């Protein structure tokens, strides 16, 4: 196994070269508004998903299993 070569022995291009050629554009310009917007959006998504407390599932209401207070290996706690 060699991560720099294909299974048939041909050399792979460097990841930097691939990204330069795929993302190359003749009209590059810095756009600070969109750059900051992307950072803010990423932070919002990360914090919203990471710090949102889990709600009890609707299936727990049907099965009468409280996944936070039981160690039972049952659905929906352990699907």
Alpha-carbon distances of 55 from 6, 25, 51, rounded to whole Å = 46, 45, 12
Catalytic residue among 12, 47, 56, 74: 47
Per the structure block, which two tokens stand in for 75?
């659905």
75 is an active site residue: no
Cite the beta strand spans of 1-79 per DSSP E: none
Catalytic sites, residue numbers: 47
């Amino acid at each position: 196994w060699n991560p720099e070569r294909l299974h048939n022995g041909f050399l792979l291009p460097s990841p930097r070269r691939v990204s330069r050629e795929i993302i190359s554009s003749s009209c590059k310009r810095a756009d600070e508004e969109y750059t900051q917007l992307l950072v803010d959006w990423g932070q919002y998504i990360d914090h919203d998903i990471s710090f949102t407390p889990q709600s009890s599932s609707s299936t727990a209401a049907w099965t009468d299993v409280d996944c936070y207070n039981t160690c039972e290996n049952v659905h929906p706690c352990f699907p």
